[in-house]
Structure 1
Amino acid sequence: MILTDAPKNIIASVSPSGEKMEGSSVTLTCSSDANPPVEKYTWYKKTVTSPKASGQSYSITYIRSEDSGEYYCEAENKYGLLNSSSVFVDVHYGPKNTSVSVSPSGEIVEGSSVTLTCSSDANPPVDKYIWYKKTVTSPKASGQSYSITNFTSEDSGEYYCEAVNVRGSMNSTVLMIIVAGKSSALTTSVGITVVVLVLILCLFGFIWFRKSPKSTSDPRNSEENRLRDSSLVYHNVSGMVTMSPDSDNQEDQVYTNVPLSYPHHQEEALYSTVQMPPPQNQDTSLMYTVVKFNSASGSTQPAAPMTEEDPSVIYSTVKKPRT
């Protein structure tokens, strides 16, 4: 009589045994006691829900650090299925993804404390961390953290760490650290002062511009000034009587210059009051009042010598009373 049964005594194994170096080949094998024999083998990795492979053997030709973990197989026939116990695949590799961080982050003030920390991914874990500063050949310190208690300008520079384990070593990326000394603070304060002074000057310039009178070149202002000047009339002119050397039977002449302006280029009549000197013993004398008219611009020109007849001069005769 032949006994039939579901799979049992499921065993998973890995070859070669021992440590697995990154880049090497690994084969996983599943065995089972079943009657009828197992029809299907399926391979799984813990923490992963989907199957990794199918078949009694599962081979990884180039194993990587991500392949480390626990594996198991599942055996199945028409009477049932059963999982094997887990087998651990341990992949060894040297340090990688090595990096440096600084605390506190941001600007480093002179005299403060700074701590550098090195981190790396390695299997087995990193045995030793070594700290270096560029331009300095000898190591600065050892250990995963490197602290500088009284940071000065001489400590500024580029730092990096080296992570080492039995499988290899790797340097981190370079971290630049610059101390913010007194000179930096002075530069910042000077810059702020300059900005404030510029803003003050701009404000005063704006206020002066708002309060300054309008330019006389404005056509409206020019028209207003012209009309205002054209309305001026000069009157009540007192003339000095200049006696001619021949006072006998000759007429005396008085010349008075009166500037006038023409509104809208039109002439205006001028009535001037001339005060006469005390009566003289001469006969009837003549007094001439000379009136000059300015052009429309309103500018006053000096009186020219009366050598020739000027068409812009009005002569008025004033008779003096007889003594």
Structure 2
Amino acid sequence: MVLRTAGGRLSLVVFLWSVAVVLSQKGWSVTYTTQSICTLKGSTVEMSCSIRYPSGTVTTTFWFTKMYDVEKYVNLRNDSNYKGRVTYRSDKMNGHTLKITDLRESDSAEYKFRFITDQTGGKYSGYPGVTLSVTDLQVKVTTTWWSTTLTCSTTCILTGNPTYIWYRNSKIVQGASSPSYTVYFKTEDRFYCAVKDINSPAVSVEGHSYFHVTYTHQRICTLNGSSVDISCSYTYPSGHTISETIWYTKGKLHEAPQILSPGYGGRVEYLGNMQSDSILRITDLREEDSAEYKIRFRTGQTTWEPTIPGTTLTVTGLQVKLTPATVTEGQKVTLTCSTTCTLSDNPTYIWYKNGHVTNQSTSLFLNPVSSEDAGRYSCSVEGHEEIPSDEETLTVRCEDV
């Protein structure tokens, strides 16, 4: 009766803690590898521990979750709910492992290890034990005007940072550490998720009318000093009217987006009808303009911002690379018009020697090289001849006599 009172419970906790401290001081302990595990229904789990005791020989070991009375523990091997699903494993270093197969949600419990030695009073149980939570996979559907997001949901956070595999009509469409998958199109296909070989039930994503954006290019690589058009087209549900279109750059982590209003810095212009397509034109490009460019809309009092990736712009300069930098007559030298990214539209490169056009090619090969080839070399892209690279000097040594 005393144990049912609040004061009694407090005294009991203090008493058990005191006993645990005393036993630990005497050299008794059970150390679990982990304190909690969250895993999937139908899978297999292993939990392990190591033990320490002052003297004697261990005669009995077992794992348990239940006890009916003092010294009346239910060995998991003898529990009918675990029949055929439990195995124990021990090693010579006092390590002990419990393996449970074909997990069920009813297996969720706190698992503890107990051992008995041949010494008088030589019994010990490890408290607290390992808390096992068994969950299943369910797909939760969240729909907005932009998209439908499917989330592979569990009642606890799965242990081990698992990979979530998403299937569309039994075909893999994504494998990632994120439990979410986003659909940006109308579809009545069936989707389900899986972790390893455990699948969720499939769900149907009924067709909805979304705000849908398609960027013309995912990536653009262009020259420092040139101009670029970044474009997209979009659709949206009837009953909505776009009152404002805004382009912006997605900054680095924790940085606020940079809004690119028309006329921004005198280099930005908006083109297109703004109701179904839009073009962002940027002139006099600089390398610091390299960023991801995205669009957002305003309809009434609501701002819509697509979550899909925008267009990644990389602005690069031209540089002449000589391989090798210094050569002797009769050797081979390669001159490359180098950029930090692969320029869009497969351009033609123009080569200059001492300011005069010599060739048109991505690389210039001189084989064999002679003293007449020495000079200052630069390159440009056809159509952008006004933006040449800096000059590099090719030095040719005479052969030793």
TM-score grouping bracket, smaller chain normalisation: 0.3 to 0.5
Which structure dedicates a bigger proportion of its chain to helix? 1
Larger Rg: 1
TM-score (normalised: structure 2)? 0.29
Which structure dedicates a bigger proportion of its chain to strand? 2
TM-score (normalised: structure 1)? 0.35
